[in-house]
Structure 1
């Protein structure tokens, strides 16, 4: 069984304590709906695996911690309607284009008193693990428990919010990770799969993102498909758009809401053929895409 030790870069003379993986994350398993069972097995239902986060010990949050950039809704409005045929070239999106679409989405990491990532190392695997949470509450739960089992987690250790595009930058710099989704959204994803007649026997792997076949955004002459990290935000957007455009709420239609994994979408955006993903934008939790919706364009 692998054990964990804290990555402590400021004091190389003191050997960090070895911490059993299950002991360290026991409280997280209880309060965050069993995020992991072991590092070597896939997680089922509403548990989320942790993938190795490989980075230098001196990687500081000062280069990563930037305010979340909200999506500008000026000139951007939501519509309900069937997607129109559109020719797309099979070319990969540039990194800048992907980064721009992720800039408004915040995730949470742990930092120590030196503004460094809190990392744990596997023994004997030598792999370094980092935890990226979509919910502040999950990150805070981990921080509280880590403080209780490691002296290296002092009172100045904290939960830090960073923009998701910065996480993608880390990925390009050789950082490998898998993010921990909100347990409630994993449950929502399982319900969507069940409503679509799909089996939930193998659970749900990855960070769920939700979209509707009926909702799209329009900015100038381009149409975008919004992907939501929270199903409730998508449902609220559909409801408001339907009310403002005096149409039947499409959320009532069976199968209108679909779920995918963020990892799958991101992989598609990076691939050689992006015909399926080149019109995707990610909506930060709590963001209202119907703000400023022009009612006179309901049928436009």
Structure 2
């Protein structure tokens, strides 16, 4: 055979081998896709049974066999979502979109993960992108409504400072209606929402208790009104709000039940005075002229007043242990009474007229949480004296957990007595504690009479203007 003939045969053999290799590779790819599809089906079956962890493993194996399949990533995103691993769910959804920008379920998975990461603007954009591809998909439509609702709700979330600052509300009582075990009663409203209310007016709690007893005669002896510190109530409401996103998502998108919620109902008199005071104040100056198309502001009423009102007298500060404190009152009558008595006694530099600023407790707490300068270290909260009449002397007590929040006074003196110390040593310990908590007898009388805290840790106090309650 000639050289040319040998070369021709060699080329033919190589071509045949290449063709066989290509066919083999194609067959192998088909086999891997088939394996991936089988693993996906097994994972789907486990997801139906609620076994998210095992489904995750199967989807991961499927992706290893077929890395270019966007459906596998959206399925694993769903498994991550069910396992509450929202960041991982988002990552898989974005990978699916990168593989197939027209796969609408990838946008749904992405948006749902973003909702639970509280990135509501991004979630809305993802739902809208999905609807641009599949405008008739009901899941995307409902999801978009939910994301918009969450965005609006997020603007009203409780933002609370740290525990040590929230402790300033330990002595402020509010009330809720509970069963024999101390668990809150939730009233179901027409829209299915179940709400427990914390009351700032004891008579309103009584009215709710009587209504519950009328509706459920068997609970007449078991139901009762329980006091709880405002700090504990706010923490409970905050925790409930944090969990509400997941439950509302199930209610809206999966047809689940509505979540439980807590609300606060301030004393009507205080809300009415707050509105009266706010309406009497001059409007805030704004830069530039108002647009002709600008909508008129809604008139402030009892129905649309949002928050727990707090009151501050401009220029009123309290001196304690050489520190200045700025009191925020939860009741107007306590502020005015304290002002009058301190002015009569001539203690400190009290302005001649009582000019009252009005804000909301929620806004003050939010600013306390966000502050990095210590400007709110001098703030103390003064409970409504009418509310204090309905709690025991040893309040605050965390009624939800039955644990004492604050120690009893004169612990050092009691310890000395139990250890066999002399009467003189016990007397000195008592005097030392009294001296630590008071400067002047008359001043202390006013503070105690109005339940104004007298032992609050504070750094250098800012001027009253720096800590005025917000308008």
1:158 matched to which residue of 2?
Answer: 224
Structure 1 or 2: larger strand share?
A: 1
2:346 corresponds to which of 230, 240, 245? 245
Q: 1:173 to 1:194 in 2, by over 3 A?
A: closer
Which residue among 244, 268, 271 is the counterpart of 1:186?
Answer: 271
Instruction: Give yes or no for contact 2:176–2:227 (8 Å, CA) kept in 1.
Output: yes
1:202-241 mapped onto 2 (5 Å cutoff): 202-203=300-301, 204-241=305-342
Unaligned runs of 5+ in 1: 1-50, 53-91, 296-300
TM-score by length of 2: 0.38
2:233 to 139, 144, 167: 167
Structure whose alpha-carbon radius of gyration is higher: 2
- More displaced 10-residue stretch of structure 1: 113-122 or 228-237: 113-122
Counterpart of 1:118 in structure 2 is 185
Paired position in structure 2 for 1:195:
280
Mapped partners of 1:153, 1:142: distance in 2: 13
**Equivalent residue in structure 1 for 2:380, among 265, 272, 281:** 281
Deviation at 1:277, TM superposition (A): 3.1
SS in 2 for 1:210: strand
Aligned to 2:442: 292
Q: For 1:35-114, list aligned pairs within 5 A.
A: 95-114=162-181
**Matched residues in 2 for 1:119 and 1:245: separation?**
49
Offset, 1:124:
5.8
Question: What is the alpha-carbon root mean square deviation over aligned residues?
Answer: 3.4
Flag the structure with more relative contact order, 1 or 2, with Cα contacts below 8 A and sequence separation at least 6.
Answer: 1
CA distance in 1, matches of 2:273, 2:298: 12
Find the aligned partners of 2:375 and 2:315 in 1 and give their Cα distance.
Answer: 16
Corresponding residue for residue 134 of structure 1:
200
Please give the alpha-carbon distance, in whole angstroms, between the structure 2 residues aligned to 1:143 and 1:294. Answer: 37
> Structure 1 pair 123/189, CA: closer, same or farther in 2 (3 Å)?
closer
- Counterpart CA distance in 2 for 1:149 and 1:293 is 49
Distance 1:272 1:217, change over 3 A: same
- Given that 2:161 and 2:365 are in contact with CA atoms closer than 8 Å, whether structure 1 keeps it comes out as no
Pick the structure with more helix per residue. Answer: 2
Please say if residues 112 and 156 of structure 1, whose CA atoms lie closer than 8 Å, have aligned partners that are also in contact.
Answer: yes
**Contact 1:235 1:251 (C-alpha < 8 Å) held by counterparts:** no
**Contact persistence 1:134–1:181 (CA under 8 A):** yes
For 1:177 and 1:243, how far apart are their aligned partners in 2?
Answer: 42
Q: Deviations over 1:187-213 (max 9, x none)?
A: 111221133235982223211110011
Note the alpha carbon deviations across 1:107-128, whole angstroms, 9 max, x for none: 0000112321111345665x43
Question: Is the 8 Å Cα contact of residues 311 and 331 (structure 2) preserved in structure 1?
Answer: yes
Mapped contact 1:218–1:224 kept (Cα < 8 A):
yes
Segments of structure 2 that go 5 or more residues without pairing to the other structure are 1-155, 242-260, 284-296, 389-437, 446-471
How far apart are 1:100 and its partner, in Å?
1.8
Report how far residue 179 of structure 1 moved: 0.8
Q: What TM-score does the superposition give when structure 1 sets the normalisation length?
A: 0.58
Aligned to 1:269: 368
Cα distance in structure 2, aligned partners of 1:249 and 1:166: 34
